[in-house]
Amino acid sequence: MKSTLGLSATSLSLTDQVIRVATGVALLTVSAKVQVPFWPVPMTLQVAALMMIAATYGMRLGTSTMAAYLAAGAAGLPVFAGTPEKGIGLAYMMGTSGGYLAGFLVATVIVGYAADKLPKMALWPAMLAGLAAIYALGLAWLAQFAPDGKLLAWGFTPFIAGDLVKITLAAVVVLGAPAALIAKIRGTASDA
């Protein structure tokens, strides 16, 4: 029997699901606002939070959480990195960060699916695939704003080392968490 992070269907009440989604949105918001000194640019903890939420909540609850986060931002709440200073709402989402935000949703689906259906050791590769989706959508969108020859310098090179560290730490935390804790967070029965 393969060891997954939680294959069983959720048994959470609607109230418990709403509480988890709200908690996830709050965690994503805080992680977007916290800056950690890193070279060559400071980084937020948003990618780490996203990966941990997707891995612990699974695809359905994780995707609901990310959709709620994006909806809160679209509605004008200052949940994203650099808001309200760099704008809010749809105007912010249509700016240079828009593709990365769309990539967050795709990454949540990828990592959440892996957490639900694949062996535990597939989690870090799934996080890597999720990160690739974030960068693919982010860079594709950013290309319309970046001057010729500056796309990677603006949207990839300064961030990739930090993001690789963040997904590695997220995988270690989730994989190191007791199975009973993950099951409690997800509202699932333990596979063991």
Domain range list for the chain: 14-186
Element (H, E) at 189: none
Q: Answer with the residue of higher pLDDT: 108 or 38.
A: 108
Of all residues in the chain, the percent with pLDDT exceeding 70 is 91
Report how far residue 63's alpha carbon sits from residue 106's, in angstroms, rounded to the nearest whole number: 9
What pLDDT, in 10s, does the model give residues 57-94? 999 999 999 999 999 999 999 999 988 888 899 999 99
Q: Is the pLDDT of residue 154 over 80?
A: yes
| Mean per-residue pLDDT, 94-119 | 96
Domain 14-186 has CATH 1.10.10.10: no
Residue with tokens 């090179």: 157
- Among 162, 104, 165, 96, smallest CA distance to 132 is for 104
- Among 29, 140, 142, smallest CA distance to 95 is for 142
The pTM assigned to this predicted structure is 0.90
Report how far residue 176's alpha carbon sits from residue 160's, in angstroms, rounded to the nearest whole number: 24
Confidence category of residue 191, pLDDT binned at 50, 70, 90: very low
Pick the range with the lowest mean pLDDT from 73-77, 140-144, 182-186: 182-186
- What b/e string do you get for 155-188 counting C-beta neighbours within 10 Å, with b at 16 or more? beebbeebbeebbeebbeebeeeeeeebbebbbb
3-state DSSP call for residue 129?
Answer: helix
**Average predicted confidence (pLDDT) for the chain:** 91
Q: DSSP letter string over 140-191?
A: HHHTTTSPTT-HHHHHTTTTHHHHHHHHHHHHHHHHHS-HHHHHHHHT----
